[in-house]
Each structure stands twice: as structure tokens, then as C-alpha cells.
Structure 1
Amino acid sequence: CLDSYFDRPGVEILQSCNGLLLCVTRPKDRNGASKYYVFNPTTKQLALIPPVPRDRSAIWFMSLAFHQTDCVRYKVICVLSVGPDVDS
């Protein structure tokens, strides 16, 4: 059941777009990495988004997008907050 899936601790729906859900699972402790994924509640399939290297940047914003003429393909837009030591 979909309700029981999102009733788990740490699961958060960030956005929905044309029936797909952009979700994040946050770790219980601060040392763990958040896992971002796109979930299709109709098919119960999910696609894990590759992690961002923690030593280089932090995710500031993430969103789902699609083009109206191509409803089969979706994009995940990720805006990063880059630390001052990236160029060193």
C-alpha cells in the first residue's frame, strides 16, 4: 500500500510532477547521506538519483521537470551549494 510506504520515518515527498514523486530518505544520524529518488506510485517503481559527493557540495534545491511534447522523459534539476574549497 502506498500509504504504508510513506508512513516510514525519514521519507519525505519533495515534489510531484505528472504523477511521479520526487522523494528523499533522510538518515537517522547527521553522518549518513540522504537518498533522493523518483517514485512512480502507479507502477511502484523507483529510480535512485546518483549521490552528490559530500566533500564537494551540498544539495540546495532539487526538482522534477518534463517537457510537454515529450512526456516520457523527465529531468531532475539539482542546484548545489558549493563550498569554498572546491577550486583547491
Structure 2
Amino acid sequence: MKITSVYPTRTFKLILEFDMREYRMLNIKKFLKSDTGLLAEIRDDLDVFMSVKIDEVAGTVCWENGVDFDPDILYQESKDVDSIMDAI
């Protein structure tokens, strides 16, 4: 499983497109609870958060400071965008 596109929001959510053409939304704040270090850097600086990009080799999201996450975990912890839209 790989992530092929990522769209960050200003509310620390990521819209992720997976290689099976499924879009999912993830509130990344649950992964950024560390008080210090690289995770706190992403949590505390919107510009750093918004710099998220795709690591083409690993098929996941990453930041300039070297943080990345397992795409399987991101899939499991995210919600299907269609189901979110249906609930509105």
C-alpha cells in the first residue's frame, strides 16, 4: 500500500490518496503529541506542517525534517472521505 498524493489543511489534517484510488482524511495531531523534537516541530509550526510531501520510494508522507509514517498505520487511522461527506 502506498500513498500517491497528499493535501494538507490548515487544521492539521491530511487528505491522503492511496494507490487503490481511495481518498482518506487523517487528523495528524494524534501522532504529534511529543513535547519536544521533530514531531513537536511539525505540530508547532504550520509552515513546517504544510511542507508535507510524498516520499516516492517509501510510498508515504514525509516532512523536510525527516519525519515519516508507515502508510499502513495512516490508512488504519484515517477515515474514508466519502463516508465523511455522507455524514454532512
Shorter-chain TM-score above 0.5:
no
Q: Which has the higher contact order (CA 8 A, sep 6+)?
A: 2
Structure that is richer in helix per residue: 2
Larger strand share, 1 or 2: 1
TM-score scaled to structure 2, two decimals?
0.37
